[in-house]
Amino acid sequence: EVQLLESGGGFVQPGGSLRLSCAASGFTFSSYAMSWVRQAPGKGLEWVSGISGSDMNTYDADSVKGRFTISRDNSKNTLYLLMNSLRVEDTAVYYCAKVESWNYFDYWGQGTLVTVSS
Amino acid sequence: SALTQPASVSGSPGQSITISCTGTSSDIGIYNYGSWYQQHPGKAPKLIIYDVSNRPPGVSYRFSGSKSGSTASLTISGLQAEDEADYYCSSYTTSSTWLFGGGTKLTVL
């Protein structure tokens, strides 16, 4: 059974940093691209970042480019999102998602809440 | 920018509804990569349609998808109370990014 478990969310002041983790199990982690998708309170889904399985190519939404860094440790079956220079508008539930065929998101974690506020 | 979906749709139990998702030639229009997600309040999104019209195992046959040009559509037939949720479309893009629609709130009357 595929499981994705996010952690690392919390409260941070504007300009601060936070690192999210997503522990994966139930599939060959290194064979699949992974992504982070966020959802601000009461708003829709927004794709944030993606990373390929083994060659570690990364892609970011313009809204986070230069501030967020997606990475993965295939030996630990773990996906990360390092978030720097956080803004109030980054407040959201952050989901990690498994990417199938570099196309759609077939499994999602339960999400972790990041709150950026002074 | 986001794919365009209606903010809300509604229907009575047993009826059918269709949700549209309009993109451009850089996303939905160029790929057969459209997907749809169902999200109940406080829950994570769940994949219900991929590659425009395919259902993952365990998803009801009442959910179907199609595409014409740069517009994808999700149809739910035989509406049930449990179908009340938010629905999002998504597409990979020529910029190697993904886009989501703004979401559609389905109300079962």
A113 touches chain B (CB under 8 A): no
pLDDT attached to residue B30: 85
pLDDT attached to residue B47: 98
The separation between CA A25 and the C-alpha centre of its own chain, rounded to angstroms, equals: 16
CB atoms B50 and A104 under 8 Å: yes
pLDDT attached to residue B1: 76
* DSSP code, position A62: T
H or E element that contains A4: strand A3-7
A47 touches chain B (CB under 8 A): yes
**Residues facing A82 on adjacent strands:** A19, A69
3-state class (DSSP) for residue B94 = coil
Question: From first to last of its 118 residues, what are the pLDDT tens digits of chain A?
Answer: 999 999 999 999 999 999 999 999 999 999 999 999 999 999 999 999 999 998 889 999 999 999 999 999 999 999 999 999 999 999 999 999 999 998 899 999 999 999 999 9
Task: Say which of B47, B98, B103 has its CB closest to residue A44.
Answer: B103
**Is it the case that residue B105 has pLDDT exceeding 90?**
yes
pLDDT attached to residue A37: 98
What are the CA-CA distances from residue B22 to residues A102, B25, B53, B102 (Å)? Answer: 21, 10, 16, 11
What are the CA-CA distances from residue B75 to residues A26, A44, B79 (Å)? Answer: 31, 20, 10
Tell me how far apart the alpha carbons of residues B32 and B53 are, in angstroms, rounded to a whole number: 9
pLDDT attached to residue A115: 98
Q: What is the pLDDT of residues B14-71, one digit of tens each?
A: 999 999 999 998 999 887 889 999 999 999 999 999 999 999 999 999 999 999 999 9
pLDDT attached to residue B2: 86
How close B28 gets to chain A, by Cα (Å)?
Answer: 12
R_g (Cα) of chain B, nearest Å: 13
* Sign of the alpha-carbon torsion through A88, B94, B55, A58: negative
